[in-house]
C-alpha cells in the first residue's frame, strides 16, 4: 500500500465500486472453479439491507471491502473479503478483517463466523493465523454452477 488507507462504512452510492472490487478479487482467486462473476450489483444493493460493508480507500479509490452482518444473539458473520488484485499481499486484507471484527465487537457481538470454500486451500491457514477455528461444513449453493465439486468450511472466533 503506497498511499495511506482509510477504512469507513460504505454508503449505498459505493455499490458499483464494491461490486467491481469483489468481482476482480474473486476472479483472480476463483476462476479455476467458478464460471461467473462473484456478485451482481443487485446482490450488493440487497446486502446493504441486511448488513454493512466496510470499504478501504487509497487516494479516494476503493481498493478493498468486507461485508459484516449481525446475527441472532451475540454472533456476527463476515464475508466477501476482497482486495483489489493490485493491492493483494500488502496487508490490506488483514486491516479489513481487524476493522470488521472491531465494528462487530462495538455492536455487541462476541463471536465472528465465516464460511470459506474448501478448495481455496490458502484460506484456512490465513484465517487460522487470525484466531479462527473450523466448526463444520455447509453445502455450496446448488444454484451456483462450479467447474468442480466444492463445499463451505465454517469457521469462528471469539471477539
Quick: pLDDT tens for 81-137: 999 999 888 899 999 999 999 999 999 999 999 999 999 998 999 899 999 999 999
Quote the CA–CA distance of 27 and 38 in Å, as a whole number: 8
The model carries a pTM of: 0.92
- Taking a C-beta distance cutoff of 8 angstroms, is the pair 77, 71 a contact? yes
What percent of the chain is modeled with pLDDT above 70?
98
72 pLDDT higher than 80? yes
Q: Was domain 5-112 assigned CATH 3.90.550.10?
A: no
Domain range summary for the chain, segments of one domain joined by +: 5-112
Could you write out the DSSP letters of every residue in 79-90? EEEEE-GGGTTS
Quote the CA–CA distance of 38 and 45 in Å, as a whole number: 14
- pLDDT tens digits for range 22-65: 999 988 888 878 878 889 999 999 999 999 999 999 988 999 99
What pLDDT does residue 1 have? 45
Amino acid at each position: 500500500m503506497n498511499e495511506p488507507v482509510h477504512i469507513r462504512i460504505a454508503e449505498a452510492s459505493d455499490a458499483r465500486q464494491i461490486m467491481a472490487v469483489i468481482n476482480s478479487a474473486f476472479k483472480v482467486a476463483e476462476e479455476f472453479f467458478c464460471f461467473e462473476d462473484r456478485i451482481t450489483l443487485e446482490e450488493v444493493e440487497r446486502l446493504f439491507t441486511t448488513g454493512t460493508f466496510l470499504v478501504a480507500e487509497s487516494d479516494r479509490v476503493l481498493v478493498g471491502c468486507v461485508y459484516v452482518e449481525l446475527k441472532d444473539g451475540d454472533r456476527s458473520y463476515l464475508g466477501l473479503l476482497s482486495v483489489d488484485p493490485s493491492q493483494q499481499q500488502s496487508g490490506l486484507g488483514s486491516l479489513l478483517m481487524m476493522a470488521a471484527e472491531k465494528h462487530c465487537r462495538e455492536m455487541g457481538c462476541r463471536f465472528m463466523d465465516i464460511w470459506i470454500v474448501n478448495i481455496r486451500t490458502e484460506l484456512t491457514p490465513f484465517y487460522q493465523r487470525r484466531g479462527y477455528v473450523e466448526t463444520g461444513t455447509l453445502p455450496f449453493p446448488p444454484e451456483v454452477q462450479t467447474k468442480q465439486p466444492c463445499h463451505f468450511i465454517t469457521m469462528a472466533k471469539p471477539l
